[in-house]
Structure 1
Amino acid sequence: MRAAFIGVDLGTSGCRGVCIDEEGKELARANHPLPASTHPRPGWSEQNPGDWWQAVLAVLGELARAVPGHDIRGLALDGTSGTLLLCDQRNHPLTPGIMYDDRRATEEARQLACLAPRQTAILGPGASLPKLLWLKKQGAIPRHALALHQSEWISGRLCGQVGTGDENNCLKLGWDPQEQAWPSWMERLDLPAGLLPRVLPVGRVMGRIAEEISVRTGLPGHCQVFTGTTDSTAAALAAGLEQPGDALTSLGSTLVCKILVEQPLQSTEYGIYSHRIFGRWLAGGASNSGGAVLRQHFSDREITELSRRINPERRSCLEYYPLPAPGERFPFNDPRKQPRLWPVPRNRTRFLQGMLEGIARIEKLAYRRLEELGAGYPVRVMTSGGGAANRTWERIRQNMLGIPVRAATHGEPAHGAALIALRGYSREP
């Protein structure tokens, strides 16, 4: 039987899975919806970890049934960066999943800003460590509790491991990937002993699938579970980034630019940090511009129809800086930066062209900022997200960037997680 590998992506609204063969070719995919996040108080954002668990089992079972002629030898997961929960020594959840967009730990984030080195990824309430400090302040950390991220908890439960994390997720919990250790300054936080996970690099074996999970899903008992990553890093792997200078632009609600580099880059001022992935580093940041501002002025149907009328070889001469609201973080850090969307032409096609060009201009500035910080200018840019399907925009961006731009090899982060399992299995003796 031919070998196969599974990747599972835990998103905000659903769980998606992909099964690939030894050459990375997709064999099957599966999806299972998740209930929307709840907001018990202003700024809070939570999900039920039990919903994640049931969705993952459903996806794994569907994929196992979809490839009867293949031997599934490994799987890996990715999850939303900064989503945290506490569990006990049996992997039972003790808290809801505190989501990546939860803002309850604003005061703890301010305290960390005075304590932690500036070049860290834990500054801001969306990071994991401020959330953990908030739980500590509430007296909500029982004895022998473990702090884990979304995909880490699921991975451990699949193979009966407790308290194992991965480098990429733990970056926002304070882990120093260069020193391969929890930094000494964290001792001043007085966290309970044993609370933080044992951290492994991405793609390391955690263990074989638990017998009860094998029976429930149909996965073979020898299937190995590998340490996973965050959703954005999985997306970069799926996109086909291979060599330093390869870059990924995600055209979703926000504009995210990442580039593969040999040495890590950090800039708290611009929200830039680096994930280590198979011996290299993925560095980048996120602008507030992107699809959200387009949808304030156009429907998806309008964008598709009007884009066909645009000549991408002829500039509109509209110098827009499209933002959905005041404030920008990357490539400029200016909380008061105002959107620039004037003058507004009567011609809707020209208005859309000006906005597409404006976002492309921000993308170029973002890669120039990364170049200034030592990344070098991209050799080529892959594109994922909803905007990746717009060929007119792709041509506008290529003209603006002056380098090849194409759609990502695979758009699903789950495909990137499957590649982690494939690479992890290949490096095993």
Structure 2
Amino acid sequence: MGIGSDNNGVSAVLTSKSKKILAHTYYCYPFKTEDPLKWCNNIIALINDLPKIVRKNIVAISINHTQGSFLEYSDNQEALLTNDLSFVNRDDLMQSQVRQPLLLTDNIITFSEGDLTQILRFLNNQNYHDCSEQYLLRRKADWLMSWLLGNLRWAEESNNLDWGWNIKEEDWIGWTSAKSWISSLPNIVSSGTIVGPISTKRALMLGLPHGCLVIAGTSNDNAGIIATPSNQTDGITILNNRLSLNCFIETPFYSNGVVSYRLGHSWVGRGVSRAGTSILKYLFSYEIINDLSRQINPNIPSGLHYYPLVSQGEVFPISKREMAPIIEPRPISDSLYLHGLLEGLANIEDIAWKKMQKIRLSKMKRVITMGHGANNSSWRLLRQRILNSKVSNRSSSVPATGLALLALNGFYRTLKSNQMIEKPLEKSL
């Protein structure tokens, strides 16, 4: 089983040993939430909606959550939600010049991705040295995996690159390893690793077998790639709030805004623009986007020249912190305006692919599209014209499917090699 969670909802995909999808369920939250208790409660409800006979036959589970960070106080290294805030509290945060976090729930402080520097500033505070072993810095995805395991020891590599994990060297890079808060970081494992069996309490809570294995997940983009059949000559664009461009490479490297990720025995190079579908959702409703898209002739240029960022700053394919969004002038026609915005995003993608092409040995023959934008056929044809390459949409590919396949492969690898990280010591949860 694979579970994909974000602040808007949670989805689960169940596959058979032949990789056939047996079930795909999704629950959308009534409103966006950063509360980890709500995530857990909805995961419980989602799994418990499955028939009991199905749940009893789930042998492995992998989970992920969209990026974001937790700073947790814990004196026993367990994934607990307690009321002990003796060290982590609002006064400490404000004294450390940290902006008020998005959420303070029991002993967990939740930060958005943009607040990572605020966490690090807090950890570098002089008061931190007296209690360094009691602060645990975890990504949201890794915290949810810990919730299944019953301990906070492990984390998956692709979710920890921006904290300084080097996948190739399998170690923390210099600036991280030299920090006083290095003990707050988790032990890293690669995606697909069997981390351990689900905790007894979680197994009972979810109606899963006590021997159900927890498999380290991966980032949403990686999971989407796993879920989508592709080959080494394909480029993969994920059209979500940000444009994510991915291509297979022979050796990992980090330069020019491109980051390398390990995907099984392959390497993927990824460049992510801050432009994406978020600007479309900011300006139009989903229904209006669909209606206006049908009025667009994708074979004719709009004559507009936009760089549709939501806010200032770009990282790829252009690295320019002070770059301002270009979404004006706005024409009277809404369909023409949307045409120009879609064209602007396609032009960014074209520049990015030309940059990505320099790092791969084989010529790109096709662009596979996933994400929210993969549902828009007019945009596909428009992109095909600008990219001068065949574009195929895969709107049905979801990260939860890739996570389910990771769980399946992890389970069968266990049968073949008897691989298992030692069973964590379970305490009262």
Interval containing the TM-score (normalised by the shorter chain): 0.7 to 0.9
- The correspondence for 1:256, drawn from 237, 241, 244, is 244
State the partner residue of 1:137.
125
Native 8 Å contact 2:374 2:395 kept in 1:
no
**Under a length normalisation based on structure 2, what TM-score does the superposition of the two structures give?**
0.79
Residue aligning to 1:232: 221
Gaps of 5+ in 2: 99-111, 417-429
Residue 407 of structure 1 corresponds to 393
> 1:342-381 counterparts in 2 under 5 A?
344-374=330-360, 378-381=364-367
Give the aligned partner of residue 117 of structure 1.
Answer: none
1:190 paired residue number: 180
3-state secondary structure, aligned to 2:317: coil
Q: Report the residue type matching 1:56 in the other structure.
A: I
- Tell me the equivalent position of 2:26: 31
Q: Contact conserved, 1:164 with 1:198, CA < 8 A, in 2?
A: yes
Q: Which residue of 2 aligns with 1:207?
A: 196
| 1:224 Cα deviation from its structure 2 partner | 1.0
Q: Give, as a single letter, the amino acid of the residue that structure 1 aligns with 2:65.
A: G
In 2: Cα distance, 1:173 partner to 1:53 partner:
25
Q: 1:166 aligns with which of 156, 159, 163?
A: 156
Contact 2:309–2:326 (8 Å) recurs in 1:
yes
Q: TM-score, normalised by structure 1?
A: 0.79
Which ranges in structure 1 are unaligned for 5 or more consecutive residues? Answer: 1-5, 39-46, 109-123
Where 1:370 maps in the other structure, the secondary structure is helix
> Contact (CA 8 Å) 1:82, 1:169: kept in 2 or not?
no
Q: Aligned AA for 1:196?
A: L
Matches within 5 A, 1:16-415: 16-32=11-27, 47-63=34-50, 65=52, 67=54, 71-86=57-72, 87=74, 88-93=76-81, 126=114, 131-137=119-125, 139=127, 141=131, 143-191=133-181, 193=183, 195-240=184-229, 242-267=230-255, 270=257, 272-341=258-327, 344-374=330-360, 378-408=364-394, 410-415=396-401
In structure 2, the CA distance between the partners of 1:315 and 1:77, relative to structure 1 (3 Å rule), is same
Deviations 1:318-351 (A, max 9, x none): 3333333443322112233344445654444333
**Worse-superposed segment, 315-324 or 393-402:** 315-324
Which among 1, 5, 11 is matched to residue 10 of structure 1?
5
SS at match of 2:214: strand
For 1:34 and 1:305, the matched residues in 2 are separated by 25
Query: SS at 2:171's partner residue?
Result: coil
Give me the whole-angstrom Cα distance separating, in 1, the residues matched to 2:336 and 2:148.
52
Residue aligned with 1:191, SS: helix
Task: Pick closer, same or farther for the CA change 1:149–1:66 going to 2, 3 Å.
Answer: farther
SS at match of 2:62: strand
SS in 2 for 1:67: helix
2: CA distance, partners of 1:288 / 1:275:
19
User: Structure 1 pair 325/66, CA: closer, same or farther in 2 (3 Å)?
Assistant: farther
Aligned residues: 391
Q: Distance between the aligned counterparts of 1:344 and 1:186, measured in 2?
A: 46
Q: Give the secondary structure class of the aligned counterpart of 1:229.
A: coil
Matched to 2:37, the amino acid is G
Q: Secondary structure at the match of 1:179?
A: coil
2:206 alignment partner AA: T
Contact 1:244 1:262 in 2 (8 A): no
What is the alpha-carbon distance in structure 2 between the residues aligned to residue 386 and residue 13 of structure 1? 14
Task: State the one-letter code of the partner of 2:192.
Answer: G
Measure the CA separation in 2 of the matches of 1:34 and 1:336. 35
Kept after mapping to 2: 8 A contact 1:28/1:67: no
Quick one: percent identity of the two aligned structures? 29
Rounded to whole Å, the distance in 2 between the matches of 1:66 and 1:343 is 59
